[in-house]
A and B are shown apart, each in its own frame.
Chain A
Amino acid sequence: MVINDFNWKIGGEAGEGIMVTGLMFSKICTRMGLHVYNYPEYPSRIRGGHNCYQVKVKDKMPVFAERKIDMLVALNKETIELHLEEMKDRGIIIADSHLKDISFRFGNIFYLPMDDLAKEAGGKITKNNVALGASFAFINVSLDLVLESVRKAFKDKGKDVINMNEKAVTLGYNYVKENFTGQFNYALSKISDTKNMVVTGNEAIAMGAIKAGLKLYAAYPMTPASSILHFLAPLSQKYKILVKHTEDEIAAILTAIGANFAGVRAMAGTSGGGFSLMSEALGMAAITETPLVLVEAMRPGPSTGMPTWTSQADLRFVMHASQGEFLRCILTPGDVSEAYQLIQLAFNIAEKYQIPVILMSDKLLSESSQSVDRLDHLDIKIERGKILKEVPEGYKRYDLTIEDGISFRALPPAKNGMQLANSDEHDEYGLVSEEAHERNSMLEKRFKRLELLKKDLPKPKIYGDEAPDVSIIGFGSIKLPALAAMNILKEKGIKVNFLHCLCPFPFVGEHYLDFINSAKILISVENNYTGQLASIIQENLCIKINHRILKDDGRPFFPDELAENILKIYKGESL
């Protein structure tokens, strides 16, 4: 019997409640003290496309999605056909009885009259909860725990809805207990009273931003960033945050810049397409030295690309976007905890250095959810940088005599604080100037804060063995697949260490040198086609990373495939 190591997947048509059921399954697991990683896949359409939701359950962190499934819940035929290849030999499929007469190339299919039981419970709409009850019956989780969670999930929907769904869960649960007892090799059992949170990357970003004092969020809907907007909008009155769905992404970034100029912490969020529209204004934030925080949640491009899938191909774009040269900072959290913390750091850096900071996520981090026991220990003290309360007469917004290049902000309507935030090159008051000496002084002013900024940038984190056979390097959401792959390799006796980059720009070379120089075999692992981080390392350190494991088909690296590829390189085989 395998206890507390379980990979569950549910699939069906869009509109059948797959996402909700998946999240509920995972929350029931976390209420037993277990850890989960939830990975949804869905096409860019509202009804009829295939949706699936995968929950990997383990008794300890880190957890990440695995390809091979222990239990597949198929609400339709397509789910079985699409995911048959992912089944473990001893895995099982739970399907509706009406599929009984179709032959699938797989033996362990348990047929349940899901539609009939749902109708009995009160409506076809409860089919997903019949499946939920059935799933937990197979893995020996108590019915009480499942029902308690159902009550919590539907608490705002009224007694009738609660009763109907409780009945659906119970019918599914009992049907399995009565008909298929003892036919499955996996079980979950409670390991502690800790009820872990289940949090998506976007929720972590939003909560971290609230904690950091976010007062205005401006965005135009775009997958996979939209759920930041959806999460913040209902909280606007509670936390006094103006949440604005603007007419387009250009307006979103400009509204955020305007709000920052007027002295609040404001943020805009988007994906690559929206960021393209924001590019011009990004430079305006830089030349006016207005603090700005942006979230860019990546999906595969170019252009519309694959809207609901993951990618890490925008790094170079975000590094270089907008004309001219200016300082910016890019932060790339690897999981929910880092997202929560780094968005707070983003606000501090933006205000202390008066520069744009872009937190880059991707569909994998933004929309997958992860269990964490707590986040509050990651809170960062708010640092608002140089803002004058009393402004002296003769104030110069862009005072060139200040050594570190960071001049004082004055916020309207402070007396004596008049200034021009000017998208034109300007003098110390902000008034237009095209004199060479002034241009040079302002360029130097804007760039010289880099030295100070470097001290505040998060260093890469290094995981794994001290004396590794293989060293891997990656940024952002590569973290969890990499850690999971390392565990697989460890079992095979191969020692791996992993450098996780949290700040690819400005790139601080000395943070990487020891790791890179001591690597026997160095591999860059990235969800893009060209190896962008590897190329950044090469241009900064003149070190070529010869081995690259790259993937940009919209899917994340699954640990087994990543481990297999690392192993091939280790053995000198070609990929």
Chain B
Amino acid sequence: MKDNPKFNTYQTPSWCPGCGNFGIWYALKNAFLELGFDNSDVTMIFGIGCSGNLSNFLKVYGFHSIHGRTLPVATGIKLANHNLNVIATSGDGDGLGIGIGHFIHTCRRNIDITYIIHDNRVYGLTTGQTAPTSPKGFQTKSTPFGVIEEPVNQLALAIIQGATFVARGYSGDIDHLASLIVQAINHKGFSVVDVLQPCVTFNPGYSYPFYNPRVYRLEDTGHNPADFESALKKAFENGDKIPIGVFYKTRKPTYEESSLELKDKPLADYDLENISVEELFEEMR
């Protein structure tokens, strides 16, 4: 494991010791190193929750949005200037609870944004309530008698709703996670990286001792990411063995590529002076 301190701010992370967010932080910085990014080459959008606090520890162009809403902000930024490297992150509560509508629609859009989901299966910053990814029966402050609903399957959702790069990483395997993030950023289209991220304080049952013996790398199994059906099947594998790696990858036109108004140059590069609406006036006479 390397570090890339150029991307540090003056603030030191406020996460609990052992928090899975540290792994994601390092993996991101290492991915930037690998990609040869300068600080100003990265535009990142963050949500609310422990994952959102990452915004204070990365020296990039950042937008710390509101709860559940990172993807539409990222979409606006990307549409305004499609030359930017746009990365959105959010927690599982943030992005798959209140913000799940935006998630599905952004998958449909296949816009060239990388989306990292910090998946700790619990609400951490609000001190331990159930998340949409919590398993059935999970007992928390808000569900003392156990969760009744089925958990969200974000990987399966992403695959069926049109995301063109779908992967899962583990914050306990930083180098592997960094390589997934590099691939996701290099991918043209909407790339989703779900990250198994232990919350040692509010969800100790799903911490390193749980994940370490269970996770295995898909690339070691001969899994073919171009195979839609086998990708979907893998997305439902969530028991004694938990796959990490690239589940699904395909190439389809991105939203920007299909938007003819973006063909010549980014919207941000247009001069605003001397636009004539005379023709419109004439139409109305």
One digit per residue, 1 when the CB lies within 8 angstroms of any chain B CB and 0 when it does not, for chain A 406-425 equals 00000111111111111110
Report Cα–Cα, A240/B275, bound state, in Å.
11
**Judging by beta carbons under 8 Å apart, are B273 and A258 in contact?**
no
Chain A contacts for B240, CB-based, 8 A: none
In the bound complex, do residue A251 and residue B56 qualify as a contact, i.e. CB atoms below 8 Å apart? no
Q: Which of B21-29, B58-66, B149-157 lines the interface with chain A?
A: B58-66
Of B61, B76, B259, B273, the contact of A266 (CB 8 Å cutoff)? B76
Contact B72 A284 (CB under 8 A): no
Q: Which of B76, B275, B280 contacts A254 (CB 8 A)?
A: B76
Please tell me if A145 contacts chain B, counting CB pairs below 8 Å.
Answer: no
CB distance from B225 to the nearest CB of A (A): 27
Complex-state Cα separation, A43 to B75, whole angstroms: 35
Nearest Cβ distance between residue A279 and chain B, in whole angstroms?
A: 11
Given A211-B275, A258-B63, A417-B40: A247 and B285 within 8 A (CB)? no
Flag if B105 contacts A247 (CB, 8 Å). yes
The reply to whether A281 and B80 contact each other, CB–CB distance below 8 Å, is no
Q: Contact check, B76 vs A420: say whether CB atoms are below 8 A apart.
A: no
Contacts known (A196-B285, A210-B277, A421-B64); A264 close to B69, Cβ less than 8 A: no
A256 to B77, CA, bound (A): 9
Contact partners of B102 in chain A: CB under 8 A = 247, 250-251
CB of A215 within 8 A of CB of B270, answer: yes
Write the nearest CB–CB distance from B54 to chain A, whole angstroms.
11
Is A195 an interface position by the 8 A CB rule? yes
A244 to B284, CA, bound (A): 24
Q: How many Å from the CB of B279 to the closest CB on chain A?
A: 8
- Check: B264 CB closer than 8 A to any chain A CB: yes
Q: What's the least CB distance linking A128 to chain B, in Å?
A: 21
The reply to whether the CB of B74 lies closer than 8 angstroms to some CB of chain A is yes
Q: Quick check: A413 and B43 within 8 Å, CB to CB?
A: yes
Q: What residue of chain A has the Cβ atom nearest to residue B284's Cβ?
A: A197
Residue A263 at the chain B interface, CB threshold 8 Å:
yes
Nearest opposing residue in chain A for B102, CB measure: A251
A533 to chain B, nearest CB (A): 31
Task: Please state if A250 and B72 are interface contacts (CB–CB under 8 Å).
Answer: yes
| Chain B, 44-60, CB within 8 A of any chain A CB | 45, 48, 53, 55-56, 59-60
A543 within 8 A of B: no
Q: Tally chain B residues at the interface, Cβ within 8 Å.
A: 54
A341 at the binding interface (Cβ < 8 Å): no
How many angstroms from the CA of A272 to the CA of B125 in the assembled complex?
33
Chain B residues near A250 (CB, 8 Å)? 69, 72, 102
Contact flag A417-B61 (CB < 8 Å), given A242-B267, A259-B80, A284-B66: yes
Shortest beta-carbon distance from B255 to chain A in Å: 9
B80 touches A264 (CB 8 A): yes
Interface positions, chain A 409-449, Cβ under 8 Å from B, are 411-424, 429-432
In the complex, whether A226 has a CB less than 8 A from a CB of chain B is: no
User: B268 contacts which of A264, A374, A417, A423 (Cβ < 8 Å)?
Assistant: A264
Q: B224 contacts the other chain (Cβ, under 8 Å)?
A: no
Please tell me if the beta carbons of A213 and B56 are within 8 angstroms of each other in the complex: no
A296 sits at the interface (CB 8 A): no
Q: Is A30 a contact partner of B285 (Cβ separation < 8 A)?
A: yes
A413 and B41 in contact, given A258-B76, A266-B76, A420-B55 (Cβ under 8 angstroms): yes
Among the listed B38, B66, B80, B278, which residue makes an inter-chain contact with A415, where contact means beta carbons less than 8 Å apart?
A: B38
Indicate if the CB atoms of A411 and B268 lie closer than 8 Å.
yes
What's the least CB distance linking A25 to chain B, in Å? Answer: 15
Q: Does B18 contact A (CB under 8 A)?
A: no
Asked if A281 and B40 sit within 8 Å, CB to CB, the answer is: no
* Complex Cα spacing A506 to B64, Å: 28
Q: How far is the CB of A559 from chain B (nearest CB, A)?
A: 25
Q: Is A469 interfacial (CB 8 A cutoff)? A: no
Given contacts A213-B275, A237-B261, A239-B275, contact A266 B80 (CB under 8 A): yes
A323 to chain B, nearest CB (A): 11
Instruction: State the CA gap A248–B105 with chains docked (Å).
Output: 10
Does B73 touch A at the CB level, under 8 Å? yes
Q: Which residues of B contact A284 (CB under 8 A)?
A: 65-66
A251 touches B72 (CB 8 A): yes
List chain B residues, Cβ under 8 A from A422.
Answer: 55, 62, 64
In chain A, residues 183-213, which have Cβ atoms closer than 8 Å to a Cβ of chain B? 195-199, 203, 207, 210-213
With an 8 A cutoff between CB atoms, is B145 at the interface?
no
- Which residue from chain B places its CB closest to the CB of A248 in the assembled complex? B101
Known: A218-B76, A262-B76. A281 touches B273 (CB 8 A): no
Residues of A within 8 A of B73 (CB): 254-255, 257-258, 261
How far apart are the CA atoms of A240 and B266 in the complex, in Å? 10
Q: Is the CB of A244 within 8 A of B62?
A: no
Given contacts A412-B81, A417-B40, contact A280 B66 (CB under 8 A): yes
Q: Smallest distance from the beta carbon of A574 to chain B beta carbons, Å? A: 45
Q: Across the interface, do B69 and A242 meet the contact criterion of CB distance under 8 Å?
A: no
How far, in Å, is A438 (CB) from chain B's closest CB? 13
- A255 contact from B59, B76, B281, Cβ within 8 A: B76
Judge whether B284 and A258 touch: CB under 8 Å: no
A212 & B48 in contact (Cβ 8 Å cutoff):
no
- Asked if residues B84 and A413 are in contact (CB atoms below 8 Å), the reply is yes
**B10 — nearest CB in chain A belongs to which residue?**
A431
If A240-B264, A412-B84, A423-B48 touch, whether A288 touches B280 (CB-CB below 8 Å) is no
Does A376 count as interface, using CB distance less than 8 angstroms? yes
In B95-152, which residues have CB < 8 Å from any A CB? Answer: 101-102, 105
Residue of A nearest to B262 (CB): A242
In the assembled complex, the Cα of A242 lies from the Cα of B265 at a distance in Å of: 12
Answer whether residue A99 sits at the interface, using C-beta atoms and an 8 A cutoff: no
**Residue A467 at the B interface, CB < 8 A?**
no
Interface residue? A21 (CB, 8 A): no
Shortest CB distance B280–A (Å): 5
**Bound: A255/B11 CA distance, A:** 29
A207 vs B75: C-alpha distance when bound (angstroms): 25
Contacts of B81 in A (CB 8 A): 262-264, 412-413
**Mind listing 27 A-B residue pairs with CB under 8 Å?**
A27-B285, A196-B285, A197-B285, A207-B277, A207-B280, A210-B277, A213-B275, A240-B264, A242-B267, A247-B102, A251-B69, A258-B72, A260-B76, A264-B268, A288-B63, A375-B281, A412-B77, A412-B81, A413-B40, A413-B43, A413-B61, A413-B84, A414-B40, A418-B40, A418-B59, A418-B61, A430-B64
Q: Which residues of A contact B (CB under 8 A)?
A: 27, 30-31, 195-199, 203, 207, 210-213, 215-216, 218, 235-237, 239-242, 244, 246-248, 250-252, 254-266, 280-281, 284, 288, 374-376, 382, 384, 411-424, 429-432
In addition to A246-B105, A412-B77, 19 A-B residue pairs with Cβ atoms within 8 Å of each other are A31-B285, A203-B284, A210-B277, A213-B273, A216-B79, A244-B79, A246-B72, A247-B101, A255-B79, A258-B76, A259-B267, A261-B77, A263-B80, A264-B268, A374-B281, A412-B40, A415-B40, A418-B39, A420-B64
Interface residues of B (CB under 8 A from A): 9-11, 38-41, 43, 45, 48, 53, 55-56, 59-66, 69, 72-81, 83-84, 101-102, 105, 259-262, 264, 267-268, 270, 272-273, 275, 277-278, 280-281, 284-285
